[in-house]
Structure 1
Amino acid sequence: MSRLATLLLACLFFCHPLPLRADEAPERLPAYQKRFERERPLVAVIGENRMTELVDYVLPYGLLKRSSVAEVVALSTRPGPMQMMPALRLLAEADIVGFDRRHPEGADYIVVPAVHYSDDPQLLRWVRQQAAKGATVVGICDGALVLGEAGLLEGRRATGHWYSRGQREDDFPGTRWVSDRRYLADGKVITTAGVSAAIPVSIALVEAIAGTDRAQALATGIGLADWSPRHDGDAFALGAGGYLAAAGNLLSFWRHEELGLEVRQGEDELALALRADAWSRTFRSEVLALAADASPIRTASGLVLLPEPMAAHPGITHLQPTDAPLARLFDQTLGAIAERYDPATAALVAAQLEYAPALNE
């Protein structure tokens, strides 16, 4: 059993007490309040080098970068590549030491994705320091666990991915955990539901910084009709079918396969992240970014992707390009997973993404 499969399976096999539901909460995030003599707010997206959730990191970075409403910096805790989960490797623009040297006053916003090592001392120290300097801290998905470990959720309302409910309730009993919001602000701390919430909260951040018109323009450009926080987190569960699909796919090792996504300079990192993330959650496939050689690829928004050389994977199955709008890529990819494998596997992936496919509505 691969390490990735073990981690994914462990994430699924929990018992989860139901969280509290939120009281009436604002539909919008608090408006940005300028603190420094900056033309635009400074947003730092921080990843932990050993294992950081791909969509949680790439989507806020890419969407905020494309909106042009903020200066956005991709960071890692340490120098060197970041292993993303469940797929791909990235190289950040700077590590936190370099960022602090350049911006001793701190960021206006920091975005904290889900990471495998949520108790990493270096990450926790930096998050606490940024919060103490006045940054708004945004925990994407189970980035909430990092915020909890950092002591930022005590006495606050917050949310997170549905499958971590039990862990969150046990580890952070002083937090009021809610389930009916895709994203939720309590003071200068923002948390979100599972993986797919990275898209609406990113649009909401654009709205908080630059207004509804700018947010609407970005949402329209990616095919998103609604970025409100309304959500039914209690509707998500694996059930017997999900557990059977996960176990059956994992144990049928003779059916496992490598899938390749060809990448080039200027690659759309948003579409790449969504597709790689979804296909890598089937428990049957491992997704690799492929290029002519191992030279770094700079994506459309400036991230550095570290691909695998095609020659090293001669028998790999290549996934075909797609022109679907970003907001419909999960639907298209889930449909392709159902066709290649089976509907139960597609439902398993959707549950992990905390995403309700449009085709099931």
Structure 2
Amino acid sequence: MSTLRPGRRFRTALRLAGIAAAFAAPPLAAGAVHFSRIAPLTGYAPAPAFDAPDIDVPFDPGKRTAVVVMSNTGTELTDFLAPYEVLAATGAFNVLAVAPEARITPLGAGLDIVPHLSFAGYDARIGADPDVLVVPFINDWRGAANRPVVAWIKAHAGPGTTLLTICGGAVTLAETGLLDGRRATTYWDFFAWVPRAYPAVQWVQGQRFVDDGNIVSSAGIANGIPATLHVVEKILGKAVALETARKVGYAPVAQLADPRFTLGMSPLPAVLLANAFRFDKTEMGVVLHDGVGEIDLAAVLDTYPRSGTTLTRLVADTRRVVRSRHGLFLVPRWDFASAPRLDRVVVPGARGALDDAPLAAWARDRHGVGVTYLRGDLGAPLAADRFPFDLTLADLARGESAAVARWSARGLEYTPEDPAVLAGAGWPIGIVVWPMALGLLGVALGTLGVRAVRTRA
């Protein structure tokens, strides 16, 4: 039984609470300030001005048409790039990136794109409703700037159109009313609120994709790949879907027959510490080059920034339109001469994808680093032909920590078949030492402050 009087017990509790507050306040404040400074750099920062030249967009009237719709305010990049490559790899579609305006537009993580056509341009040139209409997650989907996106989707969802939503794209389709009374899924984090926001939709959890006739919806981000392959199978047949999976390097094709899945435990403390107390964020230069694979690019740009440890800077020899493997018009934010100081230089491809010698000289002489290639360097000793997200996650696990890599994988809703992909180091000691040091400093300063007040009294 305690011998302390009630008043003394209260003062002791108050003193302990003060010590706890003094310990917690400095790291929380420093972490919040630092997190707020880097968050905009991993999102949809407006694209720098760029006068895009007139670009010819080939169109074969003998093929089906697939439109991947996007917003000029920002579109989740893997949601956009992955289904685009899967559909293009079939060879059976004209695949078009269409937005309200055909101007330079952010995709996130510093990647900018010039859409193939504006909405008006599509209506003037193509006119017919697309055979496949892909709706990725759109930033600020309820904002005034994106009302034309919602209206255009609704107007072009014809009787012969297959609608495919990727990740949070389901909420944009829900805005049209076309999901009312239908089954759909979306990003795992959205299930906390979408049943209230869109109660007329039958929301389904625990599946990579949900097929409800002419509407197919995917769960988060990377699950858009099996969902798109499923659409390919519906339209072109199983053999074409499997061959397309082989072309893009996607091995777990059993998901097409059984889309059930579960997410692992969330290593949230790791990413909070990595975001808040890793003050030396890695500045990664990502080199755009003609012929870059869309999924290769997505794997680099969505894995590393999502971890909170890395800021990506899109660079090229000159600030020009770079054509991806299947004809997207990409624009770097920096040329080699104007690029900021970089800690890493990564090519989302293999050696020989561009002129390697000048690139190596620039990286060495200007930044003091070598050039790392996605296929051949990242994720080693994994084979270079592995699925690109395996390579980037393995590199993150070994270079940062296994917990940080698991956080990125969870955010991507991507589960590697090989557990070795996410095997890596423990937490870097620095991200633990910083908050401890700031907390102890807070206690010391608080103690000095109390003593100073008592001395004056």
TM category (shorter chain) comes to 0.7 to 0.9
Matches within 5 A, 1:1-361: 1-2=35-36, 5=39, 39-119=62-142, 120-132=146-158, 134-225=160-251, 226=253, 227-228=255-256, 230-236=258-264, 238=266, 241-242=267-268, 244-252=269-277, 254-307=279-332, 308-316=334-342, 317-319=344-346, 320-323=372-375, 328-360=387-419
Whether the aligned pair in 2 keeps the contact of 1:48 and 1:115 (CA below 8 Å) is yes
Q: CA deviation at 1:108?
A: 1.4
Q: Deviations over 1:232-260 (max 9, x none)?
A: 4543452xx31x22321221252212211
SS at match of 1:254: coil
Unaligned runs of 5+ in 1: 10-36
Whether the aligned pair in 2 keeps the contact of 1:179 and 1:234 (CA below 8 Å) is no
Which structure has the higher relative contact order (CA within 8 Å, separation 6+)?
A: 1
CA distance in 2: counterparts of 1:327 and 1:105, whole angstroms: 38
CA distance in 1: counterparts of 2:244 and 2:41, whole angstroms: 34
Going from structure 1 to structure 2, the CA distance change for 1:133 and 1:117 (only over 3 Å counts) comes to farther
Whether the aligned pair in 2 keeps the contact of 1:83 and 1:90 (CA below 8 Å) is yes
CA distance in 1: counterparts of 2:189 and 2:110, whole angstroms: 20
Q: Deviations over 1:81-112 (max 9, x none)?
A: 12112441111111111101223231111101
Whether the aligned pair in 1 keeps the contact of 2:42 and 2:108 (CA below 8 Å) is no
Identity in percent: 27
Whether the aligned pair in 1 keeps the contact of 2:263 and 2:410 (CA below 8 Å) is no
CA distance in 2: counterparts of 1:135 and 1:113, whole angstroms: 16
The corresponding residue for 2:380 is none
Going from structure 1 to structure 2, the CA distance change for 1:73 and 1:3 (only over 3 Å counts) comes to farther
Unaligned runs of 5+ in 2: 1-34, 44-59, 347-371, 376-382, 421-457
Instruction: Specify the structure having the higher radius of gyration (Cα).
Output: 2
Q: CA deviation at 1:177?
A: 1.1
**After the TM superposition, which of the residue ranges 150-159 and 102-111 deviates more from structure 2?**
102-111
Identify, as 1 or 2, the structure richer in helix: 2
Letter in 2 for 1:137: L
Q: Deviations over 1:132-186 (max 9, x none)?
A: 5642211111100101111111111100111111121121112111123211121
Letter in 2 for 1:77: P
SS at match of 1:300: coil
Letter in 1 for 2:213: G
Q: CA deviation at 1:6?
A: 6.2
**After the TM superposition, which of the residue ranges 41-50 and 310-319 deviates more from structure 2?**
310-319
**After the TM superposition, which of the residue ranges 229-238 and 170-179 deviates more from structure 2?**
229-238
Q: TM-score, normalised by structure 2?
A: 0.68
SS at match of 1:79: coil
Q: CA deviation at 1:39?
A: 3.0
Going from structure 1 to structure 2, the CA distance change for 1:277 and 1:64 (only over 3 Å counts) comes to same
CA distance in 2: counterparts of 1:92 and 1:237, whole angstroms: 38
CA distance in 2: counterparts of 1:165 and 1:203, whole angstroms: 24
SS at match of 1:155: coil
CA distance in 1: counterparts of 2:400 and 2:70, whole angstroms: 32
CA distance in 2: counterparts of 1:338 and 1:53, whole angstroms: 23
Going from structure 1 to structure 2, the CA distance change for 1:181 and 1:88 (only over 3 Å counts) comes to same
Q: Deviations over 1:277-320 (max 9, x none)?
A: 11120112111222111111111100011112122225212121
CA distance in 2: counterparts of 1:108 and 1:265, whole angstroms: 28
CA RMSD in angstroms, aligned pairs only: 2.3
Letter in 2 for 1:5: A
The aligned length equals: 331
SS at match of 1:267: coil
Q: TM-score, normalised by structure 1?
A: 0.85
CA distance in 2: counterparts of 1:2 and 1:289, whole angstroms: 22
SS at match of 2:301: helix
Whether the aligned pair in 2 keeps the contact of 1:47 and 1:82 (CA below 8 Å) is no
